[in-house]
Structure 1
Amino acid sequence: MSMDYYREYILDHYRNPRNYGKLEHPDAHAEDSNPLCGDQLSIDIQVEGDQVAAVRFQGRGCAISQAAASMLSEMIEGRPVEEVVKLGKDDVLEALGIPISPARTKCAFLSLRVLHRSLAIAGLERPDQEEEE
């Protein structure tokens, strides 16, 4: 697919984020920010059995950080927690579909970091399973 398609796809997720909001009683919650650019993000996850039943995120920041959060939320909803904990940076980059400059990688990976932190806090993922930055 063309770069223009992926740019439009990113802008669509930024302008019309999927799964934006909060869950009333999440099983997992975390938040973090990127102080270098001001991006902020929180993630709520509801787990039923071994599946991610619902996910919501809230935040503000650049198109890359917010679009990545929206895309990641779509990727994990309905998936087994066992698969979700294995998601990594390559999965986010593949979803974005365009090359990300080194300066923007922290923006792109903020949602992944918050996701792994929320799962670790909830005891669904060991902290040593989190990806290094």
Structure 2
Amino acid sequence: MRDTDDGLRDLYQEVIFDHNRNPRNFHAMPDASHQADGHNPLCGDQLTVYARVADGIVQEASFVGHGCAISTASASLMTEAVRGQPIEEVERLFRNIHQMLTEAHPDCDLGKLEVLSGVREFPARVKCATLAWHTLHNAITQARDVAVTE
């Protein structure tokens, strides 16, 4: 069992480092139909999430900003996961990711996003991992507030 735990931890670290060093969809989106800002005062993470939504489908998602490795990697993974998804599925992903990071693993397959489950081992970093997701939620629901994790 220990070898499995070490393997998962190594995979978690590898994916986080890769998405931090080479974030996917890291650009402003001038033609975004939805956008929101997010801030994690504890870490200093700040980002803007953009989405282009048409016919209830997230056609494209991107982000800009600065933050710790976990915040950046989570935003990068998120933008890949939500592309092409209906708004309802994006909201379901938001709830499932939040549940996975704060409570217990949801009874569903999160695919590549499963790697974020490693953040639960570091409770102080959960807010870093959820910032992008809260910000996307605000963008999609067109909330006017800055998404914060405090």
Relative to the length of structure 2, the TM-score reads 0.76
Check whether the contact 1:20–1:70 (CA below 8 A) recurs between aligned residues: yes
Structure 2, unaligned runs of 5 or more: 101-109, 144-148
Hey, what's the Cα distance between the residues in 2 that align with 1:78 and 1:64? Answer: 24
- Verify: 1:98 aligned to 2:118, yes or no: yes
The letter of the residue matching 2:20 is: Y
Deviation at 1:80, TM superposition (A): 0.9
Deviation at 1:85, TM superposition (A): 1.4
Check whether the contact 1:71–1:95 (CA below 8 A) recurs between aligned residues: no
The letter of the residue matching 1:96 is: L
Aligned length: 126
- Verify: 1:57 aligned to 2:63, yes or no: yes
Residue 47 of structure 1 is aligned with which of 38, 48, 53?
53
Deviation at 1:25, TM superposition (A): 1.7
The letter of the residue matching 1:117 is: N
Structure 1, unaligned runs of 5 or more: 123-131
Hey, what's the Cα distance between the residues in 2 that align with 1:64 and 1:26? Answer: 25
Hey, what's the Cα distance between the residues in 2 that align with 1:93 and 1:76? Answer: 11
**Where has structure 1 moved over 4 Å in runs of 4 or more?**
none
Deviation at 1:94, TM superposition (A): 2.4
**Deviation string for 1:14-73 (max 9, x for gaps)?**
000011101112111000111111001110100121211011101111100000000011
Hey, what's the Cα distance between the residues in 2 that align with 1:16 and 1:97? Answer: 20
Hey, what's the Cα distance between the residues in 2 that align with 1:99 and 1:17? Answer: 18
Relative to the length of structure 1, the TM-score reads 0.85
Name the Cα RMSD after superposition. 2.4
- Look up the SS of the partner of 1:79 in the other structure: coil
- How many percent identity over aligned positions? 43
